[in-house]
Amino acid sequence: MFMVRCILGTSAKNLTSRPVLRQRIKLQNRMSTSPRPVAAVCQMTATPDKEANFSACQQLVEEAKERGASMVFLPEGFDYIGSSQEETLSLSESLTGDTISKYTQLARKLEVWLSLGGFHERGHDWESDRRIYNSHVIINDKGDVVSVYRKSHLFDVELPEKGVSLKESAFTVPGPCLVSPVQTPIGKVGLGICYDVRFPELSLALRRHAAEVLTYPSAFTEATGAAHWEVLLRARAIENQCFVLAAAQVGRHTEKRRSYGHALAVDPWGEVLADCGGEKPGVVLVEMDPEKVRGTRRSMPVQRHRRDAGFYRGLEST
């Protein structure tokens, strides 16, 4: 498994302002002759400034494409992270608004697939209830929106001893269903968002529908990230024998909110292939070897050993 190291900077602008570093990247690209597809996993520090966020994401995507990525993963809240519930709602858009339009144009221009990990989408009853979906949008290299998954499990957690207090359901509608894994250049990708990683039923359902890659774009708090982030992602990779790609928010977004960072790529054996660290925006690139998935499943055929669903419900009737 080939891995290109993470490039970090105090802002995404720094990724394109260091000529020596860019020359080194170009050299790495020329030296790589592997036919395996490459995935780029990003981390950023979103703020309420949507234009600045798009500029940061655009530069991350451009760097990833220059380094050979065929699909780029951006985190939850890539569009913005508001400083209040009122601001969060006021900045939201529909899927036909300016933000998604910019990303479809970017994907088409660069001929790269995009995973937009958590878009503030105005709900179907927006005019009456002013609530939104947290939506994971997949755009292909032609600029078409090919899948939209709306976050199923909403983060309503009060941990006063950890300084964590978030109630996502106050302004967000839970998604009505899962969506089928999407065939992409890096494999068949099953979609989740952040808190969904704590619910193995979701990943098992995606695995049953032939997912080879699971993705959990996130904005984990520092407290929950330090305690659970890596172990949860590795567990989902191991139990489903899938690659797991998790783009992340990092650092301070507003006066009251910070994120843990550590965007990760994990292989089907549970090995961490790349970690973007917990300090600054950046991107990691990993080669996606489909034989790693097939080989892991052949040598330890967990799915074949799983009993039927009724067996696991049997305890409820005893």
Catalytic residues: 76, 151, 194
**Residue 312, Cβ density class (10 Å: 0-12 exposed, 13-18 middle, ≥19 buried):** exposed
Q: What is the CA radius of gyration of the chain?
A: 19
Q: Which of 242, 202, 195, 188 has its CA nearest to residue 216?
A: 195
Both structure tokens of 191: 């979609």
Long-range contacts at 22-30 (CB < 8 A, ≥ 24 apart): 25/63, 25/66, 25/67, 26/66, 28/4, 28/67, 29/66, 29/67, 29/68
CB atoms within 10 A of CB 102: 16
Task: Report the alpha-carbon distance of residue 30 to residue 32 in Å, rounded.
Answer: 6
Helix (H) or strand (E) holding 60: helix 50-66
CB 69 within 8 A of CB 40: yes
Burial of 130 (0-12, 13-18, 19+ CB in 10 A): middle
Backbone angles phi, psi at 191, to 5 degrees: -100, 130
Report the first-to-last Cα separation within the chain, whole angstroms: 47
Give how far the C-alpha of residue 142 lies from the chain's centroid of Cα atoms, to the nearest Å: 20
DSSP type of residue 223 = H
**How far apart are the C-alpha atoms of 85 and 202, rounded to whole Å?**
28
Q: What are phi and psi of 4, to 5 degrees?
A: -95, 135
